[in-house]
């Protein structure tokens, strides 16, 4: 058995332990983490590997740390609120599949940014800023909002292309970039205080994709600054 085969077998054993402890049927467990039963069976028996996003989904839904599932390191379970990942803080009491959680987080982000634009517009009018200037500033902010949305759309397209090309490494990269950027954008000024607790951010460092994240994060921040003006 090769080192890679040994690693995959150990991951499967940890996954089987989680599945057994859940007491759920194969269908119920797979649906709880956003998979079809047939896809979960492939992960559990070997043909398909356990991806980082899927491990994160198991952490969110069942409380077993993704780092432990994938590498057998650290505590097996998330046991205290202070140990929760940033994403868990956002959705502590929400029961959706992993993909739905990220979609909802994106909606929350753009809801907040849209509110910022509206608040600034009405503030300008209350302060008797010329209506044409207020309209112009709002149009610029809305354009920047569209540019931020385009960043996430392009990352999803890259992930989709990777899936179609059976490029697991590319799929993981773009999924992680999307998820980490969503978290960083949501937490805004608090990001520096939570990023080291973020499994997605740590994984980007491990996979040497941090420079791509920093570049996109800087770009999004520059657009957000203009929205707040």
CATH number, residue 38: 1.10.260
Same domain for 32 and 133, yes or no, is no
Same domain for 107 and 154, yes or no, is yes
Same domain for 71 and 102, yes or no, is no
Q: Range with the lowest mean pLDDT among 16-25, 42-51, 88-97, 156-165?
A: 88-97
What whole-number percentage of the chain has pLDDT above 90? 28
Same domain for 171 and 71, yes or no, is no
Q: Classify residue 91: in a domain, yes or no.
A: no
- Regarding predicted confidence, which is higher, 96 or 20? 20
Which pLDDT does position 87 carry in this prediction? 65
Distance from C-alpha of 210 to C-alpha of 147, rounded to nearest angstrom: 21
Give the best-scoring range by mean pLDDT among 82-86, 98-102, 143-147, 184-188: 143-147
Which pLDDT does position 218 carry in this prediction? 94
* 3-state SS assignment for residue 95: coil
Same domain for 110 and 189, yes or no, is yes
Distance from C-alpha of 110 to C-alpha of 46, rounded to nearest angstrom: 39
Same domain for 150 and 186, yes or no, is yes
Q: Classify residue 192: in a domain, yes or no.
A: yes
Q: How many domains, in total, are found in the chain? A: 2
Same domain for 182 and 148, yes or no, is yes
Tell me if 120 sits within 8 A of 228, measured CB to CB: yes
Same domain for 124 and 198, yes or no, is yes
Q: Classify residue 67: in a domain, yes or no.
A: yes
Give me the helices (H) in the chain, please. 3-22, 26-32, 37-45, 52-62, 66-71, 86-90, 98-126, 131-164, 168-187, 191-194, 199-206, 210-228
User: Which of 83, 111, 143 is the last residue before a domain boundary?
Assistant: 83
- Regarding predicted confidence, which is higher, 202 or 97? 202
Distance from C-alpha of 116 to C-alpha of 214, rounded to nearest angstrom: 24
Distance from C-alpha of 29 to C-alpha of 49, rounded to nearest angstrom: 17
Using the Cα atoms of residue 24, residue 30, residue 36 and residue 37 in order, give the sign of their dihedral: negative
Which pLDDT does position 143 carry in this prediction? 93
Q: Classify residue 220: in a domain, yes or no.
A: yes
E strand residue ranges, 61-136? none
Q: Classify residue 16: in a domain, yes or no.
A: yes
Same domain for 188 and 103, yes or no, is yes
Considering the chain, what is the average pLDDT of its residues? 84
In this model, does residue 202 exceed pLDDT 90?
Answer: no
Same domain for 71 and 140, yes or no, is no
Q: Classify residue 74: in a domain, yes or no.
A: yes
Which pLDDT does position 19 carry in this prediction? 92
Tell me if 40 sits within 8 A of 62, measured CB to CB: no
Using the Cα atoms of residue 198, residue 204, residue 205 and residue 210 in order, give the sign of their dihedral: negative
Which pLDDT does position 88 carry in this prediction? 61
User: Which of 54, 83, 112 is the last residue before a domain boundary?
Assistant: 83
Distance from C-alpha of 222 to C-alpha of 214, rounded to nearest angstrom: 12
Largest interatomic CA distance in the chain:
75
In this model, does residue 201 exceed pLDDT 90?
Answer: no
Residues spanned by the domain of 52: 3-83
- Regarding predicted confidence, which is higher, 219 or 128? 219
In this model, does residue 36 exceed pLDDT 60?
Answer: yes
């Amino acid at each position: 058995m090769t080192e890679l085969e040994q690693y995959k077998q150990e991951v499967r054993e940890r996954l089987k332990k989680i599945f057994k402890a859940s007491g759920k049927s194969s269908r119920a467990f797979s649906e709880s983490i956003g998979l079809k039963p047939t896809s979960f069976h492939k992960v559990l028996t070997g043909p398909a590997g356990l991806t980082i996003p899927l491990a994160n989904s198991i952490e969110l839904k069942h409380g077993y740390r993704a780092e432990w599932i994938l590498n057998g390191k650290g505590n097996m379970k998330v046991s205290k609120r202070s140990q929760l990942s940033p994403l868990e803080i956002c959705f502590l009491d929400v029961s959706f599949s992993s993909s739905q959680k990220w979609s909802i987080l994106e909606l929350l982000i753009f809801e907040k940014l849209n509110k910022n634009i509206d608040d600034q517009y009405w503030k300008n009018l209350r302060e008797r800023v010329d209506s044409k200037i207020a309209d112009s500033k709002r149009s610029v902010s809305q354009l920047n909002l569209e540019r931020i949305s385009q960043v996430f759309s392009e990352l999803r397209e890259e992930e989709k292309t990777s899936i179609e090309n059976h490029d697991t490494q590319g799929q993981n990269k773009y999924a992680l970039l999307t998820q980490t950027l969503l978290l960083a954008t949501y937490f805004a000024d608090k990001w520096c205080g939570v990023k080291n607790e973020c499994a997605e951010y740590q994984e980007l460092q491990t996979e040497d994709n941090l420079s791509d994240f920093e570049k996109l994060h800087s770009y999004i921040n520059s657009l957000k600054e203009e929205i707040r003006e």
